[in-house]
Amino acid sequence: MNNIPEIKIGIVAVSRDCFPEALSVNRRKALVEAYSAKYDAANIYESPVCIVESEIHMVQALEDVKKAGCDALVVYLGNFGPEISETLLAKHFDGPVMFIAAAEESGDNLTQGRGDAYCGMLNASYNLKLRNIKAYIPEYPVGTAEECADMIEEFLPIARTLVGLSQLKIISFGPRPLNFLACNAPIKQLYNLGVEIEENSELDLFEAFNKHANDPRIPDVVKDMEKELGEGNQKPEILPKLAQYELTLLDWVEAHKGYRKYVAIAGKCWPAFQTQFGCVPCYVNSRLTGMGIPVSCEVDIYGALSEFIGTCVSMDAVTLLDINNTVPADMYEGDIKGKHDYTHQDTFMGFHCGNTCSRKLSSCTMKYQMIMARALPEEVTQGTLEGDIAPGDITFFRLQSTADNLLRAYVAQGEVLPVATRSFGSIGVFAIPEMGRFYRHVLIEKNFPHHGAVAFGHYGKALFEVFKYLGVEEIGFNQPKGMLYKSENPFC
């Protein structure tokens, strides 16, 4: 993963001047010790500056964490804390901020050793709102040194994602294919999120591709593809063309990312791509995504954005799939019922032509794109990576701008079942609890498109917090039985 940030989190303790400063300082030291004992100490920086109700101390702490190269900040209330200077620190720090607070330590030390941070967190949250400052506050933000250390570790993927988005450029090629309006969305919200976008014609891409003909690096890329595919290398004749396309994209990224550090791509893949490029881009898309450069299909800009978010959170390859088809009743009865604790409506099949990283497939084979070959010569549809998606935990999610320019998101955790799909493409049998209701009252009711991003693992908690921090007011999830959606008929 060479396309996501490495994060250092600065820890600044704060103290109210009517409390002993040593209370906050010692609790900060205990917090750092607890984190270092359990997690990678390189992730954090302990600032020696304790803010004691002073704007001057705030400036000193700010300069200290900046000098230390901190990308994110933890404001730690070792005691009640100074509500003005601690929130000013969050205001002037250029990056994600978390507020947490120290729990009391002993019933034998509730006189001189009582810190009242439980109370101070209330005032901190009120002052953050007064100043319109975004900050992450965990579900229960007051804890022991060990508990607060866990909170910092949980903040790490959230901070990594927010920093990544602040330095992201999405590069797109071509308008959406005809009759595929579903993933079209206003780009205004990208700018609101701090994301840059560079929109290009697929003709620009085609020109760049042609300039890479006979590129001397092509044989080395082909060898790497052969190694990755192994016995699945069933179309060796198409690899040089795919290698040429991969080099085209990678060179474009380096030449066009400008002042941005991170890139995602929304690529064109039909209808003219096959006839002009002489292949389909699916396998190359899978390889770049495996490198940490997400590539969405069908110029799905918010799909690429969602994939990048998932890459930052999981530090792993993600994929983009169609929420595609139901599981046939006979397949459910024979392969799922009684073996897995899901109803038929909890299951569905997630599919795309061949864009999923080989590491996330049970096995893979290079093939042609069957759907496209129904209308085109088979030889120009080569280049898909087919295989069943490996069983295991997944998180299905998406961040989307609606047609009327509102940000919406959804997050749903589930799994890929160990069930043979008996189908084609990059595909898996998915199970999400209460999927049928979620499909109707979130995906359909809120007008989400058919593409969903998939992270391989359960990352719902971090993704939900990322979306909250970004200001997404409506975040759908697969609500459990007995918890009705607003649009759900209570008599059904």
The domain that contains 301 carries what CATH number?
Answer: 3.20.14
Q: Which residues of the chain have pLDDT under 70?
A: 1, 179, 181-182
Residues 121 and 173 in one domain: no
- Is residue 157 located within the same domain as residue 217? no
Judgement on whether residues 221 and 320 belong to the same structural domain of the protein: yes
Half-sphere exposure of 347 (CA within 13 A, CB side): 22
**For the chain, how many structural domains are there in total?**
2
Which are the contacts of 238, defined by CB distance < 8 A and separation ≥ 6? 279, 366, 382, 383
Alpha helices in 167-217 (DSSP H): 188-192, 202-211
Phi-psi sector, 299: left (phi>0), alpha (psi -120 to 50), beta: left
Same domain, 299 and 434: yes
For residue 255, the surrounding DSSP H or E stretch is helix 239-256
Contacts 24+ apart (CB under 8 A), 276-279: 276/206, 277/206, 277/209, 277/241, 277/245, 278/241, 278/379, 278/380, 279/238, 279/241, 279/242, 279/245, 279/380, 279/381, 279/382, 279/383
Structural domain ending residue among the three candidates 144, 163, 182: 163
CATH number (domain holding residue 132): 3.40.50.10940
Tokens of 207: 């020109």
14 in any annotated domain: yes
From residue 106, how far is each of 113, 122, 203, 287 by CA, in Å? 8, 22, 69, 54
Q: How many CA atoms lie within 13 A of 459 on its CB side?
A: 29
Give me the domain span that covers residue 175. Answer: 166-475
- Please tell me whether residues 124 and 247 are part of one structural domain: no
Residue 2 lies in a domain: no
If asked whether residues 109 and 198 sit together in one domain, one would say no
- Contact of 285 with 318, CB cutoff 8 Å: no
Confidence at residue 409, expressed as pLDDT on a 0 to 100 scale? 97
The whole-number pLDDT of residue 297 equals 87
Residue 480 counted as domain residue: no
Question: Residue 314: its pLDDT value, please?
Answer: 97
Domain shared by 159 and 285, yes or no: no
Q: Residue 182: what pLDDT? A: 67
